[in-house]
Copies of this chain bind each other. A is one copy, B any other.
Amino acid sequence: MVFSAGPNMAPIEARNRGSFCRIQLRDTMKPIYIAAYHQSKFGKLLAMTQEQMIAAAVAGVCGEIGITPRLLDSGSIAAACNFSLHQQGLLAGLLAGVPGMATKPLEAVENACASGGQAVLSGIYKLQAGLGETAIAVGIEKMRDNDGRADGKRVGEALGYFSDPAERDGKTFVFPHIFAEIMQVYSRAWSVSEADLAAIAVQEYANARHNPYAQMKVDLTLEQATTIAGPNRYLIEGLPLKTYDCSQITDGYAAMILATEEGLARLGVDKHDCVEIAGWGQAVDPLQHQLRNVLEPAGAYRAMRGAYAMAGISPFEIQTAEIHDCFTVMGALGTEILGNAEPGKGAAYWVDGNAAPDGICGINTSGGLIAKGHPVGATGIAMIGWAAWQLLHKVPAPLQVKAATHAATFNIGGPVCASVCTVLRGPQ
């Protein structure tokens, strides 16, 4: 798999292509706005059923702008463990059962942990296709039991379904194992230490303490994150992945209402109060292990660059981002794909404080998947939702990025396989 331009070329390439794509966008595409966003607190939803989560997500997001679901023209829904943990498909049929949602174009989309982002994209596609002027994207995941406990083995098995079948043998916890291998490959290729990667988790735990929606509310020092003691241990013998490098097992839901300008008018929402999804990109790298290059995933770079190009901006022009740190190594790699650091320099960006809320570009100010939590189907929607809150200056003060006008998101599914990227523009 050859990738012709180095990742460090991204800004220039995006800038060059930007003007062209921006013209195309203006000519053929309608601007798409986030009319409303809503999410549950991430963590434990106890006895709440998937059906109840869907209903609460729709009611919650409609409540944010005081509308009835009848005003929504279409919908997309995302979940990842609905079959494996809950023996339930056809979630669109449960969404249709929410009062006001029947007889609309609804469907479920699945791209593993990028399913939530995919649901947002599907809404955008339908709006661009002329299927109405408003669309809802709903993401849910119920990973814990009714007492709030996580059955790690069962969840591990369910998430393992998103891996290459040829890559599962000998792995009890498939994804932690695969990412432990990626962490090793990455660390060796770029001489990045375990402590460098742990710095990402430390920053994210610190951020999450201020986020009322976050799952993890504990202090984490670099010493704790790098010392084998208490809950912190190596998950797979001989590989560098430790407890604090991992995201959480989380219950949660999120929903977003997307609208064209006509849609906003119908919903009674002022365009000048809204964040625009100014660019988006989606691409899938092969799931098959031997066909992937995890250090430079071509599809991920393509999706991210496409989003910048469509928005007509370069990575230097975003002040905040939410990236898919399912494991700390993805926080580092994601920072590179975002265009903020050259290959191998992603962890250093965090170590140097550049990713902090008051840094060059505040990344995962929400706490990220590692500390905010990772309710798989909701994650991709929540990344866009939090980034939008940043641009609306609605996040708690210690996390608020000053003068943020543009943001980016990077949501992945599988072992750097499906990538959904967006570039957001704040109210003009």
A interface residue numbers (CB < 8 A to B):
1, 24, 28-29, 49, 51, 80, 83-84, 87-97, 102-112, 118, 121-122, 124-126, 128-131, 160-165, 281-288, 291, 298-299, 302, 413-414, 417-418
Contact = CB atoms under 8 A, between A and B. Distances in A.
A309 B91 CA distance: 28
Contacts of A89: 80, 110, 112, 161-162
Contacts of A299: 96, 102-104
Contact of A284 (B103, B112, B128): B103
Contact of A107 (B88, B106, B282, B291): B282
A93 B115 CA distance: 13
Contact of A110 (B90, B131, B285): B90
Given A80-B89, A414-B90, A110 B111 contact: no
Nearest to A166: B51
21 contacts: A83-B84, A88-B161, A90-B111, A90-B414, A92-B418, A93-B287, A93-B288, A93-B413, A93-B414, A94-B286, A94-B287, A94-B288, A96-B284, A96-B287, A96-B299, A97-B291, A102-B299, A103-B298, A103-B302, A104-B283, A105-B281
A90 B168 CA distance: 14
A93 B417 contact: yes
B96 A286 contact: yes
A88 B88 CA distance: 15
Across chains A and B, which 8 residue pairs bring their CB atoms closest together, nearest first? A93-B287, A128-B129, A97-B286, A83-B83, A103-B299, A96-B284, A97-B288, A125-B125
Contacts of A163: 90
Contacts of A87: 84, 160-161
A84 B81 CA distance: 11
A103 B49 CA distance: 36
A1 B103 CA distance: 10
A100 to B, nearest CB: 11
A324 to B, nearest CB: 14
Contacts of A102: 1, 284-286, 291, 298-299
A14 B194 CA distance: 65
A165 B131 contact: no
Contacts of A165: 49, 51, 88
B29 A130 contact: yes
B93 A418 contact: yes
A74 to B, nearest CB: 9
B124 A129 contact: yes
A138 to B, nearest CB: 13
A298 B103 CA distance: 6
A2 B121 CA distance: 32
Contacts of A298: 102-103
Nearest to A103: B299
A125 B84 CA distance: 29
A97 B129 contact: no
Highest count of chain B CB atoms <10 Å: which of A49, A93, A128, A302: A93
A211 B131 CA distance: 36
A24 to B, nearest CB: 7
A122 B121 CA distance: 11
B285 A93 contact: yes
Given A29-B130, A83-B161, A90 B112 contact: yes
B105 A283 contact: yes
A264 to B, nearest CB: 19
Nearest to A3: B103
